[in-house]
A and B are shown apart, each in its own frame.
Chain A
């Protein structure tokens, strides 16, 4: 299976290298892998995720995502790479002045799909996350769990190569969390997408085989 993410001696830090978060991390993630990254609060889970979508550049080492070296990537290439990713955030990051349907098809809009295709896909995606009746509503009219389902639908909109999720159930109750994990399992199976989830705790309801990395003392280690 082809490699989707390859990190070698990856070092990440803030404040121009003064505040080191990750040191000399080495890992390899293949197509179709479902990966959990756990670790205590402030250990650098979200920082690592940010580096994977090019929000934070590595200080040292190499980080290859989708065949592109994120340490030496142009803005144009990074934009292009991001259109092949689906990203899910703890705080949903929905556009509140847009309807739910419009939020869901944002990746399609960016890719330049026609309004007709966007409309069809919005209906399909909202049906998939069981929010068919909410297309014309605005995000703030929805509960937290529902908003996160919109976030999941948006992340899956363009059948991405890679889905990155930052504490996707961090703000949700158990019931809503289970719904989200269920959706993510289904998506991974249906789309054969690589999924990388940052979370403080691996859900007990999870049934798919997965890989588990832990961040501890600035290092990233795989748990076997």
Chain B
């Protein structure tokens, strides 16, 4: 029981930090996908007097990633059914040029307004439509979710760090006498802290396995049976094999910092 209790005292806060890291990774991947979809779905409409190349748009504002001209012929064919060819040509000559512009990233409404102003500065551009309202609400919701999750992760990490510091205090006293005796008899640092490292490495590996198992379960069992379409579609973002490496490295870094802190706090300390 004491063995389990001693390990759980470090494993649980370590797990909380790793859960925070993994949640951040999952959320980053999900939001990246969501952001990419928003960017893909979003375009600005530009009406121009003359044909314009992408280079010209990019010179006006470097957030413009691509431009696609809307086929003028198809617009005319839609509005001028039953009109003879000469009249159609006349309409076509009078018709301005329409472009769909894609952006390179997810921008807020003031940045969109700035792009609009830049585009309008070109004399050949007659009109720019940014479709701001729906974009703005999506953006705000998106940023709000991201903010809430980050606050939660930071809160969880802070509490966990305090718990780890508490455990370090326990380690400091539990290993103090042994480390002092070994130091007096000339044991080098690595030998003195060897037992503590073994304990801490065991806890780091156990925490990594437990957190990986939780997300493995979420990805391969819960996501499939959840019946939530959005989760099933984004199943891949829930857990990746590379996450095990990230979690293990993170937990080992925390462990090394914790153990060395304890070792140096105990170094030369008088009883």
What is A's interface to B at a CB cutoff of 8 Å? Answer: 53, 55, 78-83, 85, 87, 93-98, 106-107, 109-110
Contacts and interface: CB of A to CB of B under 8 A. Distances in A.
Contact of A106 (B177, B181, B188, B268): B181
Contacts of B182: 95, 106, 110
Nearest to B184: A87
A96 B180 CA distance: 13
B184 A93 contact: yes
A93 B181 CA distance: 7
Contacts of B166: none
Contacts of A82: 184-186
30 contacts: A55-B184, A55-B268, A78-B186, A79-B186, A80-B186, A81-B186, A82-B184, A82-B185, A82-B186, A83-B185, A85-B186, A87-B184, A87-B185, A93-B177, A93-B180, A93-B184, A94-B181, A95-B177, A95-B181, A95-B182, A96-B177, A97-B178, A98-B178, A106-B181, A106-B185, A107-B185, A107-B186, A109-B191, A110-B186, A110-B188
Interface SS majority for chain B: helix
A58 B184 CA distance: 18
B187 interface: yes
A98 B195 CA distance: 12
Nearest to A110: B187
A154 B225 CA distance: 63
Interface residues of B, number: 12
A16 to B, nearest CB: 15
A42 B191 CA distance: 34
Contacts of A110: 182, 185-188, 191
Complex A-B, nearest 5 residue pairs according to Cβ-Cβ distance, in ascending order:
A82-B186, A83-B186, A79-B186, A110-B187, A95-B178
A80 B186 CA distance: 6
Contacts of B188: 79, 110
Interface string B145-187: 0000000000000000000000000000000011011101111
Interface in B183-241: 184-188, 191
Given A81-B186, A85-B186, A106-B181, 16 more contacts: A55-B268, A82-B184, A82-B185, A83-B185, A94-B181, A95-B177, A95-B178, A95-B181, A95-B182, A97-B178, A106-B182, A107-B185, A110-B185, A110-B186, A110-B187, A110-B191
Nearest to B192: A110
A95 B195 CA distance: 13
Interface in B120-151: none
B175 to A, nearest CB: 9
A109 B184 CA distance: 14
B187 A79 contact: yes
B263 to A, nearest CB: 13
B2 to A, nearest CB: 11
Contacts of B177: 93, 95-96
A81 B186 CA distance: 7
A12 to B, nearest CB: 15
A109 B188 CA distance: 11
